[in-house]
Amino acid sequence: MRDRQTPQSALDARELSKLIGELPLGAGGISLLKHQDFKIEEVVMGDHYEVGQAGSVGPRSVAVGQNFTQVWHKTSADVDLRELAAELSRLREAARGFTTGSPEDELALAEIATAENAAKADDGAKVLRHLARAGEWALAIAKTIGVPVAVRALEAAIAG
């Protein structure tokens, strides 16, 4: 057993299993635990996830047609869609000057345009879905050109 004064004083799972396995037949691990200073903080067997809102989590998970309705409900009080549509128009125009011509930039630009159309159609959840896809690139440009409603919407969408 390791020295209790070192940072490695906690037994790992293999050591604990070995100690319990060495007990005489019929002896319980409880008596061993009463005489030792064990602190088991967490035992995880298999996958472990701690997530907020999520459409799909874990190996081989698939989510199709995710919507941002719940996020929109939390954000809608802070975002006027008419004002957002106007700011997304300004953002789209400005973003053209920041594009490197890469496929990623072009896709983000298209997502801004689609979000703008969704804002004009009064579909806040769709706006957030497309702004999330536009991502950090669009957020950085929005902060640079000073469009505060678009910045709030982008931050909410990215945090999702």
Using one digit for the tens of pLDDT, what is the confidence trace for 7-39? Answer: 444 556 677 667 666 766 655 555 555 555 656
Largest Cα separation within the chain, whole Å, is 77
pTM of the model: 0.56
- Does 18 map to a domain? no
- Does 58 map to a domain? no
Is the distance from CB of 156 to CB of 128 less than 8 angstroms?
yes
Domain count, the chain: 1
For 138, the domain range is 69-159
Roughly what angle, to the nearest 10 degrees, separates helices 124-145 and 81-98?
50
- Whole-number pLDDT of residue 5: 46
The residue ranking higher by pLDDT, 65 or 91, is 91
- Does 88 map to a domain? yes
Q: Record the tokens describing residue 76, joined without a space.
A: 């809608």
Instruction: Give the angle 128-90-75 at the CA atoms, nearest 5°.
Output: 25
Q: Which are the contacts of 88, defined by CB distance < 8 A and separation ≥ 6?
A: 112, 115, 116, 119, 147, 150
Using one digit for the tens of pLDDT, what is the confidence trace for 113-143? Answer: 999 999 999 888 888 889 988 999 999 999 9
Using one digit for the tens of pLDDT, what is the confidence trace for 68-90? Answer: 455 444 655 667 889 999 999 99
- Does 89 map to a domain? yes
As a whole number of angstroms, the distance between CA 149 and CA 15 comes to: 56
- Does 145 map to a domain? yes
Q: Classify residue 152 by burial, with Cβ atoms within 10 Å: 0-12, 13-18, 19+.
A: middle
- Does 135 map to a domain? yes
- Does 103 map to a domain? yes
Instruction: Give the angle 83-89-92 at the CA atoms, nearest 5°.
Output: 140
As a whole number of angstroms, the distance between CA 95 and CA 106 comes to: 10
Using one digit for the tens of pLDDT, what is the confidence trace for 33-61? Answer: 555 565 666 666 667 666 655 555 666 55
- Whole-number pLDDT of residue 23: 66
Instruction: Give the angle 38-40-44 at the CA atoms, nearest 5°.
Output: 150
